[in-house]
């Protein structure tokens, strides 16, 4: 049965990340058009025939009637709805069109629909959802407290700062905005601004008064304060969760690349025993999400620090990299983890898509399907963010890194030539 693929609006991805996994008869709801150049490129890359007819422009909302009308006006046919990032809007569209949810059936379908209809996916996507799920299955968590007032922020920072001398203060959202409060002599963090405070006699009330206006959300969202430790390694497990009908399907494993918005597949920086332990706890977290009624794509992140390891994130959807496990199998084969190392990277600024692809060809790093190596552009987000994402396949980690560096150098040349 062909798929109708949908992503709940308002998240970090808009749907661009899913074009590469479309089947020829599938439809994808997106808020904007995708260039014909990219669709033709994907056809050559993956051996499929895609066109503008595979994309349905839905606008900024899915439940305002326009998406349903556009689908009914076309060749909707018998389809199932694939909620890569589920939510109220996605479920409202499925209800409006009378479509079944992919991988869900019978009584389970009704349970999942109730869960998603009343905001269950949104509740689990982010720090608060992480603590709910991980606590239920006994997975290790970084100590933290949600706060809803300036006084609560003061109390939480006072209590948690002595644990490691560093706390992360952020909004309770999946986007990760926040800052680090530290007593250590440091001036930078990988992702967040630094606020240096004295180790003794810190005026926590004054600190909270200064920080609260920067972090509080007038819509009522909580702020989360967590003990912040230096991350040595980060592990990612990608799942498809079928609701309470059965266990989650583990699609693939990866490690986050330090300092890069990307993943390494399969990753070789963790011992086999630690990798197995992280994966087992990730499966438990994903299964708990399914038991509560969640259905769709889910990623569970874990981090290794100098003080042990912790489950660090639960994210609905495929993220900016797209469904990495599915793309990896399509490009490098089902056994790619045995003889290939794959690197993904998101947020690569380019002049335009054709110029980027031409640069990769000239640099002789474009993906070679028979050899199963090279750089494949898997995300064209030039229309919405002026960037692309790619997957690099190498014979080993060093080979993949060399290919990527040559590709980045080729793209830099396109900017130089334009000036």
For every residue of 213-246, DSSP letters joined together read: HHH--TT---EEEEE---EEEEEEEEEEEEGGGS
CB under 8 Å, gap of 24 or more: what pairs does 264-267 form?
Answer: 264/341, 264/342, 264/343, 264/397, 265/324, 265/325, 265/328, 265/336, 265/337, 265/341, 265/342, 265/343, 265/344, 266/337, 266/341, 267/235
Query: Which of 1-5, 150-154, 359-363, 404-408 bottoms out in mean pLDDT, i.e. has the lowest?
Result: 1-5
pLDDT, position 189: 64
* Fold for the domain defined by 231-418: D-amino Acid Aminotransferase; Chain A, domain 1 (3.30.470)
pLDDT, position 203: 94
pLDDT band at residue 29 under the 50/70/90 scheme: confident
What is the rounded average pLDDT of the residues 165-172? 87
pLDDT band at residue 217 under the 50/70/90 scheme: low
Is residue 42 exposed (0-12), middle (13-18) or buried (19+ Cβ within 10 Å)? buried
User: Could you tell me which residue, 193 or 286, shows the higher pLDDT?
Assistant: 286
What is the DSSP code string of 289-345? HHHHT-EEEEEEEEEEETTEEEEEEEEES--TT--HHHHHHHHH-TTHHHH-EEEEE
- Residue 11 clears pLDDT 80, i.e. is over it: no
pLDDT, position 317: 80
- Residue 290 clears pLDDT 70, i.e. is over it: yes
Residues of the chain with CATH 3.30.470.20: 231-418
Which of 122, 142, 121 is CA-nearest to residue 131?
142
Query: Which of 97-111, 260-274, 290-304 bottoms out in mean pLDDT, i.e. has the lowest?
Result: 97-111
CB 300 within 8 A of CB 368: no
pLDDT, position 364: 97
pLDDT band at residue 1 under the 50/70/90 scheme: low
User: Encoding tokens for residue 320?
Assistant: 């900016």
- Residue 113 clears pLDDT 80, i.e. is over it: yes
H/E element, 381: strand 374-381
- Residue 209 clears pLDDT 60, i.e. is over it: yes
pLDDT in tens, 45-59: 988 888 888 888 877
Distance of alpha carbon 144 from alpha carbon 147, whole angstroms: 10
The SS3 call for residue 181 is strand
Is residue 354 exposed (0-12), middle (13-18) or buried (19+ Cβ within 10 Å)? middle
Which of 146, 173, 132 is CA-nearest to residue 291?
132
Percent of the chain with pLDDT over 90: 52
What is the rounded average pLDDT of the residues 79-86? 86
- Residue 183 clears pLDDT 60, i.e. is over it: yes
H/E element, 27: strand 27-30
Dihedral sign for Cα atoms in the order 377, 379, 381, 387: negative
The SS3 call for residue 255 is strand
CB 93 within 8 A of CB 80: no
pLDDT, position 187: 61
| CB-based contacts of 123, cutoff 8 Å, min separation 6 | 129, 132
- Residue 126 clears pLDDT 90, i.e. is over it: no
What is the rounded average pLDDT of the residues 23-29? 89
Length reported for the chain: 419
Q: What mean pLDDT value characterizes the chain? A: 88
């Amino acid at each position: 049965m062909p798929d109708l693929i949908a992503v709940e609006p308002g998240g970090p991805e808009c749907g661009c990340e899913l074009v590469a996994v479309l089947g020829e008869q599938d439809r994808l709801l997106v808020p904007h058009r995708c260039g014909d150049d990219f669709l033709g490129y994907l056809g050559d890359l993956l051996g499929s025939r895609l066109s503008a007819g595979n994309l349905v422009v839905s606008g900024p909302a899915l439940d305002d009637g326009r998406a349903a009308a556009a689908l009914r006006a076309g060749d909707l046919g018998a389809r199932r709805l694939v909620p890569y990032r589920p939510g109220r809007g996605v479920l409202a569209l499925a209800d409006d069109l009378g479509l079944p949810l992919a991988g869900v059936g019978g009584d389970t379908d009704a349970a999942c629909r109730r869960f998603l209809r009343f905001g269950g996916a949104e509740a689990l996507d982010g720090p608060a959802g992480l603590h709910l799920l991980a606590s239920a299955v006994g997975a290790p968590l970084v100590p933290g407290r949600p706060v809803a007032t300036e006084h609560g922020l003061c109390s939480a920072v006072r209590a948690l700062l002595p644990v490691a001398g560093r706390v992360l203060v952020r909004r309770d959202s999946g986007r990760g905005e926040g800052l680090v409060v530290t007593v250590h002599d440091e001036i930078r963090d990988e992702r967040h601004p630094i606020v240096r405070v004295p180790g003794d006699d810190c005026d926590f009330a004054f600190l909270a008064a200064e920080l609260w206006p920067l972090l509080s959300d007038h819509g009522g969202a909580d702020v989360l304060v967590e003990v912040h430790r230096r991350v040595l390694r980060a592990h990612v497990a990608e799942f498809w969760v079928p609701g309470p009908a059965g266990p989650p399907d583990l699609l693939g494993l990866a490690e986050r690349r330090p300092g890069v918005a990307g993943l390494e597949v399969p990753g070789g920086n963790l011992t086999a025993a630690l990798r197995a332990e992280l994966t087992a706890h990730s499966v438990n977290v994903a299964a708990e999400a399914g038991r509560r009624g969640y259905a769709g794509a889910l990623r569970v992140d874990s981090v290794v620090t100098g003080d042990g390891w912790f489950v660090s994130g639960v994210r609905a959807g495929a993220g900016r990299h797209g469904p990495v496990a599915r793309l990896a199998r399509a490009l490098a084969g089902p056994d790619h983890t045995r003889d290939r190392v794959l690197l993904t990277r998101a947020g690569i600024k380019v002049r335009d898509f054709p110029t980027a692809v031409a640069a990769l060809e000239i640099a002789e790093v474009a993906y070679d399907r028979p050899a199963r190596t090279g750089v494949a552009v898997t995300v064209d987000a030039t229309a919405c963010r002026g960037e692309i994402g790619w997957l690099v396949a190498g014979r080993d980690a060093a080979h993949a890194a060399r290919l990527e560096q040559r590709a980045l150098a080729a793209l830099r040349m396109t900017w130089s030539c334009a000036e």
